[in-house]
Amino acid sequence: MAVAPGSAFLPKDWTVSENASLDFSKDASKLFFGIAPAPVLKDTSMLEEEIVQVEVWNYQDPRIFPQQKVQLNQDRRKSYACVLHTATGKAVQLGSLDLPDVQRGKEGDASVVVAATSKPYAVRSTWEGSGARDVYLVDVLTGKGSLVEKELNGFPQFSPEGKYLYWYSSPDTAWFAYDVTQKKKLQLTSNKIGTFYDELNDVPDDPSPHGVAGWTTNDDFLMVYDRYDIWLVDPTGRLKPSNLTNSRKSGISLRYIKTDPEERAIEEVKPLLLHFTNEQTLEEGYLWFDIHAGSKRIVQQGAYAYGMQVLKAKQAMKWAFTRGNYQTFPDLHLSDNLTDARRISNANPQQAEFGWGSIELHEWTSLDGQKLRGLLVKPAGFDPSKKYPLIVNFYERSSEGLHAHRAPEWNRSQINYTYYASRGYLVFNPDIPYKEGYPGESAFNSLMAGVTSLIDKGFVDRENVALQGHSWGGYQIAYLLTRTNLFKCAESGAPVVNMVSAYGGVRWESGLSRMFQYEKTQSRIGAPLWDKPLRYIENSPIFFADKINTPVLILHNDADGAVPWYQGIEFYMAMRRLGKPAWMLNYNGEPHWPVKLQNRKDFQLRMEQFFDHYLQGAPMPKWMRDGVPAIEQGIRQGFELMEKK
């Protein structure tokens, strides 16, 4: 059969898309391809000066115009799924303008595809963020669709054999399955039995799931995670969910490791290799788990970050994995039994030449009574009888990164822990849990108690403590400076200082409205501006800039597509108007952080000079004292250290 413009199955003025791939089903009975409407072409008879360039922003547009512009190339290349049945030569349209998103099951062998549309909910996604979808099953022989679920958050997946669709519903905090043959939906989990959502969720939105380990053979069972355990769930509902691993009481989180990249289903007859993390000590390791006996046998354990990817040789009992921590590079290890392993790579021998320092957990109680912890980096040769300058670098929760290896590098936005430790600094990264509507106060309650508890230990130079953070961290730093004079100086990167002006803005990199951040996600206000105006003002440092007495280095680039760079300008202008010490770095044409190597180096050097001046008494560099005039930009950098006048 020839598929060409005008073919009977094609909508009028549609054609086969050159942007869609050609894919056979596994059994070769179907060939999947794509079709698309004819492209909108420019009138080439018009002169350039005759063409009107105007953006029309309609309040009923499914996507706001900036989002359309960002996705313009994607829209031009958009295709809609079709299938050609190789035995009969019959072509069937599966996707359409009304059902644009299609996924195949059972490697294309399934008799149906799942199709979805978010169009009915596109407008409200402007302030809600991730949008809902209406989901259908479409018959690959007829192209006819049947409704599975309306207003579903997420996209259902096929089980390996294509017998079920399954998904997590955030509003219900539960997993669901849909029997493809019987066209029947069933709720698989309930919070009366277990807790299958993120228990630590602290944003004003429905919590996310912990995910799934996978399906067992023949689609018999689905293995679902909670915070700690693996549950066996019957998609027919005949058997109640069963907790296989029972590790919650011990605070051990278990996750399945797929050692065969080609594995499609979990074989219950064989022991499962699991990765485990002790939530209290953060030790990790591997263990073998026997589903039927319920027994666990630990084969690797220690104060390391063990890689989640473990590979087994196809025809030998050989296992390869990585293991590392703050002081140990995650080299490759080889083992015959996973119990005894030998290192087979040495990727970072030069580390032995440097004073790397050490890292540990520090625990304290916040000002509002919460037990918290964070990361404390100490210099090499740390002496508790001495006093060290301290830099507090933070974002949200970071303590789970205790065993992360941190090699020296020109970071885009953060200080490098090992580099600063090698130069005599302490680095503290506290966890910050949040209360809806009060993100700034939450940061204050957590961080201030953590810092003062460290000062009380006697080895922190309380006169030389600083803050450093970027984006959400930069916002929190700006807020903290309006509440305390504890810090000698601060670097605040890409901060939102005015939530009122930022709320109605656009994330230009994605074209999305910023509203959803404040109502549903990270900014955690939990309501529109007009419903809770005081919350927006109280959490905005700009309205209290006159309370700031701390010198600030601001980083904000003019091509920032995440946080509008006028936020950094507002901060700088307020400090300038108030006569407070402030410097702003703008790397022209760079996004949310410096990307070009020369700019990352420049930023890290300026930040180092800034901290060294305030915390270690080093001379002030010329760029801080005299600035870098526009006439000298790109010619003179002003790194020279100036003698004190």
Which region holds residue 89: left if phi is over 0, alpha if psi is between -120 and 50, else beta?
Answer: left
pLDDT band at 645 (very low <50, low <70, confident <90, very high): low
pLDDT band at 42 (very low <50, low <70, confident <90, very high): confident
pLDDT band at 257 (very low <50, low <70, confident <90, very high): very high
CA distances from 180 to 101, 107, 216, 262 (A): 18, 16, 17, 25
Question: In this predicted structure, what is the pLDDT of residue 463?
Answer: 98
DSSP 440: H
Say how far apart CA 83 and CA 92 lie, in whole Å.
Answer: 5
Put the strands of the sheet holding 145-153 in their side by side order.
101-104, 112-117, 132-139, 145-153
Say how far apart CA 592 and CA 614 lie, in whole Å.
Answer: 26
3-state SS, residue 490: strand
DSSP per-residue string spanning 240-304: --EESS--TTTTEEEEE----TT--SB-TTSPEEEEEEETTT--EEEEEEETTTTEEEEEEEESS
pTM of the model: 0.94
3-state SS, residue 376: strand
Give residue-wise pLDDT tens across range 551-598: 999 999 999 999 999 999 999 999 999 999 999 999 999 999 999 999
Give residue-wise pLDDT tens across range 108-132: 999 999 999 999 999 999 999 878 9
Q: What are the residues facing 14 on neighbouring strands?
A: 37
Mean pLDDT computed over 316-341: 96
For 379-451, strand residue ranges (E) read 388-393, 426-430
- The half-sphere exposure of 260 on its side-chain side, counting CA atoms within 13 A, is 11
DSSP 39: P
Question: In this predicted structure, what is the pLDDT of residue 8?
Answer: 79
Mean pLDDT computed over 453-471: 98
pLDDT band at 5 (very low <50, low <70, confident <90, very high): low
3-state SS, residue 418: helix
Give residue-wise pLDDT tens across range 139-197: 999 999 999 999 998 889 999 999 999 999 999 999 999 999 999 999 999 999 999 99
SS (H, E, C) 67-115: HHHHCHHHHHCCCEEEEEECCCCEEEECCCCCCCEEEECHHHCCCEEEE
* Closest among 281, 420, 268 to 355, alpha carbons compared: 420
Task: Assess if CATH 3.40.50.1820 describes domain 351-497+548-632.
Answer: yes
SS (H, E, C) 507-544: ECCCCEECHHHHHCCCCCCCCCCCCCHHHHHHCCHHHH
- The pLDDT > 70 percentage for the chain reads 99
Give residue-wise pLDDT tens across range 54-96: 999 999 999 999 999 999 999 999 999 999 999 999 999 999 9
Nearest-10 Cα torsion for 280, 281, 285, 286: -30
Domain segments of the chain: what residues?
Answer: 1-38+64-155, 351-497+548-632
DSSP 489: E
DSSP per-residue string spanning 170-220: TTTTEEEEEETTTTEEEE---TTT---B-TT--SSSPPPB--EEEEBGGG-
CA distances from 371 to 108, 377, 391, 443, 449 (A): 51, 20, 22, 14, 11
CA distances from 429 to 293, 321, 432, 561, 602 (A): 42, 29, 9, 26, 24
Put the strands of the sheet holding 426-430 in their side by side order.
358-365, 371-378, 426-430, 388-393, 460-470, 489-493, 552-555, 582-585
Give residue-wise pLDDT tens across range 479-530: 999 999 999 999 999 999 999 999 999 999 999 999 999 999 999 999 999 9
Mean pLDDT of the chain: 95
Which region holds residue 211: left if phi is over 0, alpha if psi is between -120 and 50, else beta?
Answer: left
Q: In terms of DSSP bridges, do strands 460-470 and 388-393 run parallel, antiparallel, or are they unpaired?
A: parallel
